[in-house]
């Protein structure tokens, strides 16, 4: 195995660089068309792009660049990860493990006539974005032996690889990685297949409803305009025939929804819809047989078609938001490097690990298990698990937990717990419990429709019997009851909520916010307090240079010294500095753990280490406190011949937009609170900087305590990122996970952000409030229509035919009202669109 050749440079992963971009020139990278950083001399933005370019030239695949010019990009091209340079051979070997194949691949049994009896596997590919990417990835089948075909689904970034019996998924994946598309195998569960089937059937139902409605309406036009005689009779029967597929097939989703609601003794909007459909159908059929003029097949099928379309649009909008995200990214299987009997490391699936096994965790990797460090010293980032912003030093004998990130040097860990038994696993478990326990909110629409439906039913009954008693005319009574039932058919009513919700969810998706359902918007519009996590939410959650005081001339020297170390502090400094044009020669380089680095440059002795003056005299510490230093910051001094010449302050930086975001939230009259697992000094420091009263800044809370606090507040929005927030996210009234959070928190939260920072929260809340306004407007309109129409029907001023013409008209008005939204809604969603 080649793990021994592992280079420490690999820690400088691309994701780290992309947040804080270096100054750029105005030239574009040949490979990915992004701006090239100033300090690069060639035509590429990074080493990764250069490596891939070279490979394509060598293989004669430069058609890629011609195709790239012709095609349109569906998403922004991103620079190739620098890791492509250090790609090790066989690093995807685990893909061909029989256990793995069983879970992740499917046998091509669909076509038994085919001789290609191989298996297929799906990969999520990072960075595919245009026609050239389609060409390049599908070309892989030409130059890797044993590959039958590769098909790329560009919108979802998913490639399906089909192998001959001889092929290897490991080699294909390696090939993708070499071409600059990092592959992540996608698990092919039955749920996914079912969802796909569902979607296809939904589309067919919509198509059938559409085609039938169109035809019925054509026939209805002649009936409305006064067609009589045998032809009219025949037309009615044909409409009935055309209505049958809508009634028996396209309306199935409503029957299912209504039945489900009745069985669980809940009220859903599906119940009045089904009632309307059944009642309308029964009356129309009765009239058809009696030879009366009043059949309403056109209105009924139009109702079904409109409702199905709005649901389909809603689903597509949510799907697109999911695709645009990198959520699938996190589905990457968990692999651990286990030491086997011969003392070599092999990659195995996480769930095969047993207590007592020894695993290797390289720098920059997430620790996969709970265990005890056996060998190696390093620094640990626990931010995602506990919320602590300071790095922790670890040495042999110490406990480490799954979900923390090893920052500095490779370590060996003896497994004590793995999988669901780990601390992370327990958090996951209690998060899922909380998610299940959360009481479903009775949506406004359902509350209204419940009383609405009851009222209508009682009224129809009253008119029917009371009318007969008062008027004594059976025919007239029947007509009035019919007109009332049709005029109050909850058509506009049923459309009011889903249409407004789906257009708002689509608006959110366009500006990088995933909202997981319509009820989330309603809850968001009601909140009175926002609880924010600190580390990773209000702050960037990683070590960064905050301030440099000293001579510019010293920078190359600092760079030369720190680039030899892989201490997290050194890495943060390197990230901050531009690489100098000429690197000064370093002699006698020494790195002492905990003390820093030292070396001789141009005859002078330089040392970079923890700043001493703040520690030594209490008076200067006081002064420091007044200026900029805080308990969350680390101060580094640069000493020339043991004389202090420059200072660097590092810490967990508050995001640039946090202040602005909190101001915006305050303007919405929301209570802002910090809820963190970090030390109280760090939390108070952040609270003070952001103007949050210390009484509202709660620190040193375990995930469970956080959850308890949040569940006591009935109208709270929880905002967080890490595993330590997941339980609180699940138990909050409504919750939101910020960008680059953990999978756990994204799964627990009701909405997720796909751009860094907390600024979009303001937009989301405004959108939710405006959406509720639109919904209320729709309700008022359709209620007014129903009341006026209903009274007119009771008084006998409206005949059933006229009511049937009015019904689609009212639905259409609701449609227009929902699509146009409010002026504020249009304004705010145009602001936030990300390209």
Partner 1 sequence: MKVIYLMLPIALALGFGFVAAFIWITLRGQYDDLETPAHRILIPEDSLEASHIQVNHEELNQV
List residues binding partner 1 (CB under 8 A). 54-55, 58-60, 63, 67, 70-72, 74, 89, 130-131, 134-135, 138, 141-145, 152-156, 171, 178, 196, 199-200, 203-204, 207-208, 211, 214-215, 231, 238
Number of neighbouring beta carbons within 10 Å of residue 266: 13
Evaluate whether 640 touches 603 at the Cβ level (below 8 Å).
no
At 789, is the secondary structure helix, strand, or coil? helix
Cα 78 to its chain centre, rounded Å, is 19
Q: Which residue lies nearer to partner 1 by CB, 52 or 258? A: 52
Q: Which residue lies nearer to partner 1 by CB, 200 or 797? A: 200
CB of 247 to partner 1, least distance (A): 16
Which of 176, 12, 15 has its CA nearest to residue 579? 12
Q: Which residue lies nearer to partner 1 by CB, 135 or 330? A: 135
Q: Which residue lies nearer to partner 1 by CB, 198 or 688? A: 198
Across 9-168, where does the E strand assignment appear? 24-28, 35-37, 105-107, 119-125, 147-153, 158-163
Q: Which residue lies nearer to partner 1 by CB, 90 or 656? A: 90
Q: Which helix (H) or strand (E) holds 730?
A: helix 723-731
Across 266-398, where does the E strand assignment appear? 335-339, 345-349, 358-361, 370-375, 378-381, 392-394
Q: Which residue lies nearer to partner 1 by CB, 129 or 747? A: 129
Which of 522, 596, 520, 521 has its CA nearest to residue 558? 596
CB of 765 to partner 1, least distance (A): 32
CB of 223 to partner 1, least distance (A): 14
114: CB partners within 8 A, 6+ apart: 108
Q: Return the C-alpha torsion angle 486, 490, 496, 501, nearest 10.
A: -140
Q: Which residue lies nearer to partner 1 by CB, 128 or 400? A: 128
CB of 9 to partner 1, least distance (A): 18
Q: Which residue lies nearer to partner 1 by CB, 155 or 471? A: 155
Please state, in angstroms and as integers, the Cα–Cα distance from residue 581 to each residue in 41, 135, 555, 557, 575, following that order: 10, 38, 11, 12, 16
3-class SS letters over 812-826: HHHHHHHHHCCHHHH
Cα 619 to its chain centre, rounded Å, is 49
CB of 311 to partner 1, least distance (A): 16
Q: Which residue lies nearer to partner 1 by CB, 70 or 263? A: 70
3-class SS letters over 141-186: HHHCCCEEEEEEECCCCEEEEEECCCCCHHHHHHHHHHCCCCEEEE
CA 733, CA 729: separation in Å to the nearest integer? 9
CB of 152 to partner 1, least distance (A): 6
Q: Which residue lies nearer to partner 1 by CB, 88 or 591? A: 88
CB of 96 to partner 1, least distance (A): 15
CB of 42 to partner 1, least distance (A): 17
CB of 755 to partner 1, least distance (A): 22
Q: Which residue lies nearer to partner 1 by CB, 212 or 483? A: 212
CB of 569 to partner 1, least distance (A): 35
CA 18, CA 755: separation in Å to the nearest integer? 12
At 139, is the secondary structure helix, strand, or coil? helix
CA 361, CA 409: separation in Å to the nearest integer? 9
Please state, in angstroms and as integers, the Cα–Cα distance from residue 130 to each residue in 45, 136, 177, 729, 826, following that order: 19, 10, 17, 36, 30
209: CB partners within 8 A, 6+ apart: 246, 250, 301, 304, 305, 308
Evaluate whether 749 touches 524 at the Cβ level (below 8 Å).
no
CB of 79 to partner 1, least distance (A): 19
CB of 256 to partner 1, least distance (A): 20
CB of 75 to partner 1, least distance (A): 10
Q: Which residue lies nearer to partner 1 by CB, 241 or 396? A: 241
Q: Which residue lies nearer to partner 1 by CB, 183 or 467? A: 183
DSSP secondary structure string for all residues of 621-649: HHHHHHTT--TTEEEEEEEETTEEEEEEE
CA 678, CA 722: separation in Å to the nearest integer? 12
CA 703, CA 386: separation in Å to the nearest integer? 8
């Amino acid at each position: 195995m080649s793990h021994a050749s592992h280079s420490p440079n690999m820690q400088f992963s691309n994701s780290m660089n992309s947040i804080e971009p270096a100054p750029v020139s105005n030239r574009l990278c040949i490979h990915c068309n992004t701006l090239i950083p100033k300090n690069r001399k060639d035509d590429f933005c990074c080493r990764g792009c250069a490596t891939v370019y070279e490979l394509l030239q060598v293989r004669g695949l430069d058609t890629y660049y011609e195709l790239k010019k012709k095609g349109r990009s569906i998403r922004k091209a991103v620079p190739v990860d620098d890791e492509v340079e250090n790609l090790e051979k066989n690093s995807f070997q685990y893909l061909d493990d029989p256990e793995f194949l069983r879970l992740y691949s499917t046998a091509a049994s669909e076509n038994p006539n085919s001789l290609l009896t191989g298996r297929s596997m799906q990969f999520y590919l990072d960075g595919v974005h245009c026609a050239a990417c389609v060409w390049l990835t599908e070309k892989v089948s030409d130059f890797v032996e044993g590959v039958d075909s590769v098909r790329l689904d560009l919108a979802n970034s998913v490639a399906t690889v089909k192998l001959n019996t001889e092929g290897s998924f490991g080699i294909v994946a390696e090939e993708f990685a070499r071409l600059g598309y990092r592959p992540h195998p996608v698990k092919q569960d039955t749920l996914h297949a079912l969802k796909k089937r569902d979607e296809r059937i939904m589309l067919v139902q919509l198509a059938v409803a559409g085609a039938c409605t169109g035809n019925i309406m054509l026939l209805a036009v002649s009936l409305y305009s006064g067609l009589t005689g045998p032809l009219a009779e025949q037309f009615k029967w044909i409409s009935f025939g055309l209505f049958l597929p809508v009634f028996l097939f396209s309306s199935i989703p409503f029957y299912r929804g209504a039945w489900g609601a009745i069985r669980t003794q809940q009220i859903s909007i599906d119940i009045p819809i089904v009632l309307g459909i059944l009642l309308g159908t029964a009356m129309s059929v009765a009239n058809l047989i009696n030879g009366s003029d009043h059949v309403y097949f056109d209105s009924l099928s139009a109702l079904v078609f409109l409702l199905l379309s709005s649901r389909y649009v809603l689903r597509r909008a949510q799907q697109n938001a999911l695709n645009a995200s990198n959520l699938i990214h996190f589905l990457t299987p968990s692999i651990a490097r286990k030491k086997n009997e011969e003392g070599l490391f092999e990659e195995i699936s996480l769930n095969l690990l047993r207590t007592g096994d020894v695993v290797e965790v390289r720098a920059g990797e997430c620790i996969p298990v709970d265990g005890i460090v056996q060998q190696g010293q390093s620094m640990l980032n626990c931010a995602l698990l506990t919320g602590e912003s300071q790095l922790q030093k670890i040495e042999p004998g110490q406990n480490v937990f799954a979900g923390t990130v090893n920052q500095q040097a490779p370590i060996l860990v003896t497994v004590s717990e793995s999988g669901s038994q780990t601390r992370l696993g327990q958090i996951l478990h209690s998060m899922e419990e909380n998610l299940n326990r959360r009481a479903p909110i009775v949506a406004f629409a359902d509350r209204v429709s419940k009383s609405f439906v009851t009222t209508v039913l009682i009224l129809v009954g009253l008119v029917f019997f009371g009318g007969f008693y008062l008027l004594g005319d059976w025919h007239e009574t029947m007509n009035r009851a019919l007109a009332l039932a049709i005029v109050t058919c909850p058509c506009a009513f049923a459309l009011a909520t889903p249409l407004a919700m789906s257009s708002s969810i689509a608006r959110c998706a366009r500006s990088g916010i995933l909202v997981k359902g319509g009820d989330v918007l309603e809850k968001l519009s009601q909140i009175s307090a926002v609880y924010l996590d600190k580390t990773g939410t209000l702050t960037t959650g990683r070590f960064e240079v905050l301030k440099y005081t000293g001579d510019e001339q010293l920078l190359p020297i600092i760079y030369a010294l720190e680039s030899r170390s892989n201490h997290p502090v050194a890495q943060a400094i390197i990230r901050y500095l531009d690489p100098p044009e000429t690197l000064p020669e370093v002699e006698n380089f020494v790195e002492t753990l905990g003390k820093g680095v030292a070396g001789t440059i141009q005859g002078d002795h330089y040392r970079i280490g923890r700043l001493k003056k703040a520690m030594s005299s209490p008076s200067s510490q006081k002064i420091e406190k007044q200026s900029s230093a805080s308990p969350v910051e680390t101060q580094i001094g640069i000493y020339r011949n043991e004389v202090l010449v420059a200072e660097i302050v590092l810490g967990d930086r508050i995001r640039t937009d946090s202040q602005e975001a909190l101001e915006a939230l305050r303007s919405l009259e929301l209570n802002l609170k910090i809820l963190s697992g970090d030390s109280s000094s760090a939390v108070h420091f952040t609270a003070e900087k952001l103007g949050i009263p210390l009484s509202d800044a709660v620190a040193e809370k375990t995930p469970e305590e956080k959850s308890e606090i949040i569940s006591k507040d009935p109208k709270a929005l929880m905002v967080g990122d890490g595993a330590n927030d997941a339980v609180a996210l699940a138990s909050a009234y409504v919750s939101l996970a910020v960008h680059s959070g953990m999978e756990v928190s994204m799964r627990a939260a009701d909405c997720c952000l796909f751009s860094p920072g907390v600024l979009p929260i303001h937009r989301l809340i405004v959108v939710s409030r405006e959406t509720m306004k639109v919904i209320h407007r729709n309700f008022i309109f359709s209620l007014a229509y129903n009341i006026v129409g209903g009274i007119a029907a009771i008084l006998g001023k409206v005949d059933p035919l006229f009511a049937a013409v009015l019904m689609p008209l009212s639905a259409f008005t609701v449609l227009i009202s929902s699509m146009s939204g409010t002026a504020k809604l249009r304004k705010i969603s145009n602001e936030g669109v990300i390209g």
